[in-house]
Structure 1
């Protein structure tokens, strides 16, 4: 499977996914750490992909949605953005409702 197809599969199969350096439990950069913490504060489950564990994803993810930096957060197949955008959403109190809506939409489509 082509790397862009693998990325697409992760984005499509997970209602909320963060492509980050490390894991939410063991982040490997400050931006990934702060973003994952903000997402965890919502109490909504989300998937993650450690881009450091897969050099192909690390090299090609910036091409996938034309977004040059890590982390990258997707909800319901759409790029939300990176650290700055997610932190702004978190500070405005908008991140948790967005994540809840993405999770609820996924649950509806499963039933």
Structure 2
């Protein structure tokens, strides 16, 4: 990944307390996994920002490399990678996601 793209991703993640890289938008998710994470965040009344990785091929590839995670969605909280759909769903179910978002 080139340095310009890495910087762009880094700035986006650090500037946004809760950021979800997803397929589509919260109003129109383009995959079931993205929809599940959106549902969890909305159920917790979390304030979050999304980035539609389908709108930018270089960002889609760059975010995969940045987080060393091959799939989407990808959730970042306060600059730290939390996980994808399975991890976020598990954290939602056991209360860890709520605690993380409120801390």
TM-score, normalized by the shorter chain, greater than 0.5 = yes
Q: What is the RMSD computed on CA atoms of the aligned residues?
A: 1.1
- Counterpart for residue 20 of structure 2: 18
C-alpha distance after superposition, 1:14-64 (max 9, x if no partner): 111000001111100000010111111110200110000111111211100
Q: 2 CA distance for matches of 1:36 and 1:6?
A: 23
Q: How far is 1:10 from its partner?
A: 1.1
2:5 is equivalent to residue 3 of structure 1 = yes
- Counterpart for residue 45 of structure 1: 47
Q: How far is 1:3 from its partner?
A: 1.5
Any stretches of 5+ residues in structure 1 without a counterpart?
102-111
Q: 2 CA distance for matches of 1:92 and 1:18?
A: 20
C-alpha distance after superposition, 1:55-85 (max 9, x if no partner): 1111211100111110100011110010000
Candidates 95, 98, 107, aligned match of 2:100: 98
> How many aligned residue pairs are there?
101
- Counterpart for residue 106 of structure 1: none
- Counterpart for residue 105 of structure 1: none
Q: 2 CA distance for matches of 1:3 and 1:21?
A: 19
